[in-house]
Amino acid sequence: MKLTHRKLKLAGAGALMAFALAGCAPQPPAPPAGTPGETSTDNNAVGTAMPEMAMPNKAIAVIHPTKGNKTQGTVTFTQENDGLHIVGDITGLTPGKHGFHVHENGDCSADDGSSAGGHFNPEEMQHGAEDVTMRHVGDFGNITADASGKAHIDKVDTMAKLDGKDSIVGRALIVHGKADDLKSQPSGDAGPRVACGVVGVAK
Ligand code: CU
Ligand code: ZN
C-alpha cells in the first residue's frame, strides 16, 4: 500500500486527485517542494525580491527640500516599450544644471539626504552619463533649471526599471546643488543633495 501510494504521488497532481476521489483516507496535499523544475520562467522574470507582487507600471517620487533648501517637485516614471519615461517638474533650483539620480536607500530622513546612500548601482558599474551603458542604473544625468529656478523633465531611460533587480521602486530620487560632471567617481561631483523623495507605486 505504501509503495503504491508513493507511485501515485509521483504520477502528478491529476493522479493524486483521482486517488483522493477514489476514497483514500483524508490526506494533506503533497508539498510543493521537490518540483523546482516546474517553476515557470514567467514567475522567474518578475524578480526574486517580491515574487507575489504584481509589477507596477507607474511610479512616482514626490521630492522635498533637504534642510536649508527649497527645491521640491514631483516626478513620475512610466514603463513603456521603449524604456522608462521620466516626466516631472521641479522648482526652487538655482538656474543651470543639477545632478539627478536614484540613490540606493529609500530614506530621506537625514537633514542632508545622506541617509539615501550612494547611487543605485545593482549592476556594479562606475558612475557615468545617462546615455552610456557603463553607468549606475540610478544615473539620470542632469536636469536644467531656467532663470526662475524651474526644471521640466521629459526623458526616456533604458536601464532603470520598475521591476526586477534594476527596479528603482523603493529607492530615493535625489536632486543635487551642482551639475553632475558625468565622469567623476563615484557620483559625478554634483555637490549637496538639495531635494529627496522616495520612489513609490503610483496609480
Ligand atoms: Cu545623486
Ligand atoms: Zn552614479
Residue 102 CA to ligand 2 centre (angstroms): 8
Domains and CATH numbers, the chain: 58-201 (2.60.40.200)
Ligand closest in space to the Cα of 193: 1
How much distance in Å is there from the Cα of 103 to the middle of ligand 2? 8
Q: Which residues surround ligand 1, an ion (CB under 5 A)?
A: 101, 174
For residue 49, the model assigns a pLDDT of 55
Residues within 5 Å of ion ligand 2 by Cβ?
Answer: 119, 127, 136, 139
Ligand nearest the Cα atom of residue 121 = 2
Distance, first Cα to last Cα, the chain: 56
Contacts of 98 (CB under 8 A, 6+ apart): 142, 143, 144, 145, 151, 175, 176, 177, 178, 179, 180, 190, 194
Q: Kindly identify the ligand whose nearest atom is closest to the C-alpha of 194.
A: 1
Q: Residue 10: which H helix or E strand, with range?
A: helix 2-10
* Inter-residue contact 153 to 135 (CB < 8 Å): no
pLDDT on residue 17: 41
Gap between the Cα atoms of 113 and 196, Å rounded: 6
Residues in the chain, overall count: 203
Q: Characterize 53-74 residue by residue with b for buried, 16 or more Cβ atoms within 10 angstroms of its Cβ, and e for exposed.
A: eebbeebbbbbebbeebebbbe
Phi-psi region of 12 (alpha: psi -120 to 50; beta: other; left: phi over 0): left
Q: What is the pLDDT of residue 50?
A: 53
- Which ligand is the nearest neighbour of the Cα of 184? 2
pLDDT computed for residue 52 by the predictor: 59
Give kind and range of the element (H or E) at residue 18: helix 13-21
User: 154-173: buried (b, 16+ CB within 10 Å) or exposed (e) per residue?
Assistant: ebebebbbbbeebbbbebbb
Distance of CA 47 from the midpoint of ligand 1 (Å): 25
Per-residue pLDDT of the chain (203 residues; tens, 9 = 90+): 444 444 434 344 444 344 334 444 445 454 444 444 444 444 444 445 555 566 779 999 999 999 999 999 999 999 999 999 999 999 999 999 999 999 999 999 999 999 999 999 999 999 999 999 999 999 999 999 999 999 999 999 999 999 999 999 999 999 999 999 999 999 999 999 999 999 999 98
Q: How far is the CA of 132 from the centre of ligand 1 (A)?
A: 17
Catalytic residue numbers read 101, 103, 119, 127, 136, 139, 176, 193
Reduced to 3 DSSP states, what percent helix, strand and coil does the chain have, rounded to the nearest 5? 15, 30, 55
CA distance 190 to 158: 22
DSSP H stretches of helix in 34-77: 41-45
Query: All 3 cell numbers of residue 178?
Result: 551642482
Q: Are 59 and 105 in contact (CB under 8 A)?
A: no
The CA-atom distances, in angstroms, between 136 and each of 104, 123, 170 are 10, 7, 16
